[in-house]
Structure 1
Amino acid sequence: MAQSTREIKRRIKGIGSTKQITKAMELVSSAKMRKRRIMLDKTRPYYNTVLENIKEVLENVNVNHTLLKQREVKNALYIIINGDKGLAGGYNSNINRLIHKKFKNDKDSISLITVGAKSKDFFKGRDYNIIESFVGISEDPKFTDAKKIGNLAMELFKKEEVDEINVVYTDFITTLSYKPTILKLLPSEKIKKEDSGPTTIVDFEPTPEEVLEFLIPKYIESSIFGALIEASTSEQAARMTAMSAATDNANDIIDELNMEYNRARQSAITIELSEIVAGAEALK
């Protein structure tokens, strides 16, 4: 019985050490999530401004831009944004399953740009066509990262190697709510010319074509950057939630082990007292 109490104490100590790690990870993820939410609030107005400017140009002039061409979709590009690390509940697997379920029987119809080691490893192991992989940027993305990804995607679209561009990410709603999302970037209904009735005469400097040449890449880059920030915020929220649940589970296990330890000690003491009483009776 003494051996049993020692074993229980070792288990309590081990789970206590794990609890310290999960609690620390919870606090770190909470701090990172707050920073990402601040960044998220800053990126959304920029994205909306660029989008409205594109619409304004298209409403007033008829421009046939390379990046706005509609064509038959033979090969679609999917930019998949995921994490580099685990321990975030179902965050990584939700995105991976979303695409794999959709295209597992039609892999030749898509090409991938993966962001995050988890997506890279998942789709590489299932023989998808990965054009480029970006790792080490998922937790703290920069606009330069979005620009690199966007430039690569637009170049593929211009060369007609892909016929549409989509970004797949986790949309942050609240700390406890986030969902996998597929956003079509090109050709997109969001930047489609709107029928707003009679148009006003607007002069564009230098020309409408050159204005769009500047705005459309900014739209792609800001959309990708926004998706990176949404995904990063969701990842930290998912990890914070997962680590909080792990800490709570550790507390529950420690409570149960403490009760088991006390019962073992009580049983050992009872046995010892019984042996003492039996010995005393034998001496009478």
Structure 2
Amino acid sequence: MGAQLRVYRQKINSTKSMRKLFKAMELIAASRITKARSRVAASLPYANAITRAVSAVASQTEIDHPLTTEPDQVRRAAVVLLSSDRGQAGAYSTNVIKQAEQLNELLHSEGKDIKTYLVGNKSQLYYQFRDRPFERSWLGNTDAPVFETAQEIAQTLLQDFSTEYEEGGVDEIHIVYTRFQSMVTQVPTVVRLLPLEVVEEEVTASSETLPLYDFEPETEQVLDALLPRYIESRIFAAMLQAAASELASRQKAMKAATDNADDLVDKYTRLSNTARQAEITQELSEIVAGADSLGA
């Protein structure tokens, strides 16, 4: 009986220690999510403005630019997958990887080859464990992304997009990330970056008229200069959305883990009290039995 009590007390102590860790991680995520949401909000004005500009160029001109024109045949697609560097964020990375797998199946069914680019250690481990190829990965700071990483990713993708298919180039580019809707809801999302799909619902309302622009120098030169910055802003915006989603998922997961630890402590405390009561009862029974035998 004493051994059983020791086991329960050890479990109570270890669970309380884990609870402190879970609570600390929950508080850290809660403190960082505010900054992450602020960064998402701060990135919207620039993203909206550059999207409106690119939309105007693409919709008001008749130019045949490779970044805005659908190819006759799409033979190879690039897929950029944004996951997390660390775990303990619930099903955050699992859900976005599943979304990427569904996209890969769709692209394969259309007869397209796939070049995969990974952001985050979790997606890299997923591919390495299954011995699946990927072109390149970017690790570090998935919960606090920097613009330099977005620029590097954009340059790599644009270089592949401008390369011929026979030399390993791609005909279209997709990005898979988790869109932050609220602290409760984060949605895995697929967006095709290139060829360009412009005039998005969240940027330009259907009743809003795009401004008219005069282009100087030529429109092609404007697109050459504008579209790389547009792609950088789109990738960075996706990284910010993913970072906010990761922190929200981690806070929610750690809150659930803390609650579960509290439940386990209550459960083991009840079991410990029951075992202690049984031990006391047994000791009393032995004392009474001994007294009876002496009296006899």
**Superposition TM-score, scaled by structure 1 size:** 0.92
What residue number does 1:244 align with?
255
Cα contact 2:92–2:246 (8 A) shared by 1 = yes
Q: 1:13 to 1:191 in 2, by over 3 A?
A: same
Quote the sequence identity (%).
37
Q: Tell whether 2:233 aligns with 1:232.
A: no
Q: Tell whether 2:119 aligns with 1:115.
A: yes
Matches within 5 A, 1:22-61: 22-61=22-61
Cα contact 2:74–2:112 (8 A) shared by 1 = no
Q: Tell whether 2:218 aligns with 1:207.
A: yes
Matched residue of 2:143: which SS?
Answer: coil
Matches within 5 A, 1:87-98: 87-98=88-99
Cα contact 2:84–2:143 (8 A) shared by 1 = yes
Residues 217-276 of structure 1: CA deviation (Å, up to 9, x unaligned): 111111100100111110111111111101000000000111111111111111111111
What residue number does 1:15 align with?
15
What residue number does 1:77 align with?
78
Matched residue of 2:174: which SS?
Answer: strand
Mapped partners of 1:164, 1:125: distance in 2: 27
* One-letter identity of the residue aligned with 1:48: N
Q: 1:120 to 1:108 in 2, by over 3 A?
A: farther
Mapped partners of 1:102, 1:52: distance in 2: 28
What residue number does 1:179 align with?
187
Cα contact 1:112–1:128 (8 A) shared by 2 = no
Mapped partners of 2:258, 2:155: distance in 1: 43
Cα contact 2:178–2:241 (8 A) shared by 1 = yes
* One-letter identity of the residue aligned with 2:174: N
**Which structure 1 residue ranges, 5 or more long, are not aligned?**
none
Mapped partners of 2:294, 2:133: distance in 1: 86
Mapped partners of 1:56, 1:115: distance in 2: 31
* One-letter identity of the residue aligned with 2:250: R
Mapped partners of 2:213, 2:144: distance in 1: 40
Q: State which of 106, 123, 135 in structure 2 corresponds to 1:131.
A: 135
Cα contact 1:137–1:145 (8 A) shared by 2 = no
Matched residue of 1:36: which SS?
Answer: helix
Residues 96-132 of structure 1: CA deviation (Å, up to 9, x unaligned): 1222244359397211110001111212333444111
Q: State which of 196, 204, 225 in structure 2 corresponds to 1:188.
A: 196
Q: Tell whether 2:280 aligns with 1:280.
A: no
Range with bigger deviation, 273-282 or 161-170: 273-282
Residues 48-93 of structure 1: CA deviation (Å, up to 9, x unaligned): 1101011222344333223223211111101100001111111111
Q: 1:50 to 1:258 in 2, by over 3 A?
A: same
* One-letter identity of the residue aligned with 1:246: A
Q: Tell whether 2:280 aligns with 1:269.
A: yes
Q: State which of 151, 158, 173 in structure 2 corresponds to 1:154.
A: 158
Q: Tell whether 2:65 aligns with 1:65.
A: yes
Matched residue of 1:67: which SS?
Answer: coil
Cα root mean square deviation, aligned: 2.1
**Superposition TM-score, scaled by structure 2 size:** 0.88
Q: What is the CA-CA distance between 1:190 and the residue it aligns to? A: 1.5
Range with bigger deviation, 271-280 or 202-211: 202-211
Mapped partners of 1:275, 1:175: distance in 2: 59
Q: How many residues get paired?
A: 279
* One-letter identity of the residue aligned with 1:165: I
Cα contact 1:111–1:128 (8 A) shared by 2 = no
What residue number does 1:5 align with?
5
Runs of 4+ in 1 over 6 A off after TM superposition: none
Mapped partners of 1:134, 1:57: distance in 2: 32
Matched residue of 2:186: which SS?
Answer: strand
* One-letter identity of the residue aligned with 1:9: R
Q: State which of 139, 145, 149 in structure 2 corresponds to 1:145.
A: 149
Cα contact 2:90–2:249 (8 A) shared by 1 = yes
